[in-house]
Each structure stands twice: as structure tokens, then as C-alpha cells.
Amino acid sequence: MNVKEDLPGLIGKGRDRVEQEISNARVAGEYVVGRFQRRVSARLENLLHTGDGATPDAPDEPGPTAPRAAPPAARPAPDAADAATLGAALADYDTLSASQVVRRLEGLGPDELRAVQRYESATRHRRTILNRASQLLEEGPAAASSG
């Protein structure tokens, strides 16, 4: 007889407990998903800016880690002699746009063109400039100075 009277109350308590457990699981799930979203976003941001997938906070966060990407090829440091050569041949080189530099390359000699290639490779790596300097060097000194 007591079971018949107590059954609705027990069902209500059971329902409340299940709803509480579901609510706790939902909160825990949202926390875990949010945490991993932040980690993935941080890795993606770092990858886009530095080239490797490491994040500063990765060591103290447990969990699976993605394999690290190979570091990008290091560019050589700009040579002071190349910078001086460019400064003499093309004033304010670092402030010029690629199109401005390309127009001025035809007046340079082979040594200056090579200095442009080395300096550009070590700094901004603008393909337009590198390609045009290579073309002028292939054409030879006569073609480079008769443009």
C-alpha cells in the first residue's frame, strides 16, 4: 500500500535527478567544446602568423595534440652591403612599391640586380621584383642598360 502512495513522489524525484544529471552533462559538454574551440582557434591563429601549430598554453592543457608542421624555410638575413648598394642605386628602396622598383630595375647593372635579388629575398620577398631582376640578368648587361 505504501508503494502505491509513494510511487508518484519517487517518480518525481527520479525525474528531477535525471534532469539535473542531463543539465550537468550539458554544462560539462559546453565547457569542453568551448575549451577545445579556443585551443583550435589559438593554434590556427598561431599557424597563420608563425607557421607552426604550437600554442603557448599547450603544455599545461591535457589532451591530444596535432602533429607539428615543419618550420618554414628560413630566409637569409639582409646583407648590409646589399642594403648599401640598393640605397645608392634606388633611394628609399624600402618605401617603394613593387611596381616602382620594377620600373627602375632596367637602369641597374648586374651587380646591383643581384643585390636587389638578395635583399628582396631576405626581406619582403616580392615575386614581381625577383622575377624581373632574374629576367634582366638572363638578358644580359646590354639589355638591362638599354631599356
pLDDT tens per residue across span 116-136: 999 888 888 899 999 999 999
Average pLDDT, stretch 43-59? Answer: 64
Query: 19 pLDDT exceeds 90?
Result: yes
Position 76 scores a pLDDT of 61
**Taking a C-beta distance cutoff of 8 angstroms, is the pair 138, 98 a contact?**
no
**Taking a C-beta distance cutoff of 8 angstroms, is the pair 45, 58 a contact?**
no
Average pLDDT, stretch 72-101? Answer: 76
What confidence category does residue 86 fall into, taking pLDDT thresholds of 50, 70 and 90? confident
Average pLDDT, stretch 13-41? Answer: 91
Position 83 scores a pLDDT of 78
Position 1 scores a pLDDT of 63
Residue with grid cell 643585390, as numbered in its chain: 115
Average pLDDT, stretch 26-36? Answer: 90
**Structural domain boundaries in the chain:** 1-72, 80-145
Least confident of 22-26, 89-93, 96-100: 89-93
HSE-up (13 A, CA, CB side) for residue 38: 9
The 10 Å CB-count burial string (b at 16+, else e) for 90-119 is beebeebeeeebbeebeebeeebbebbbbb
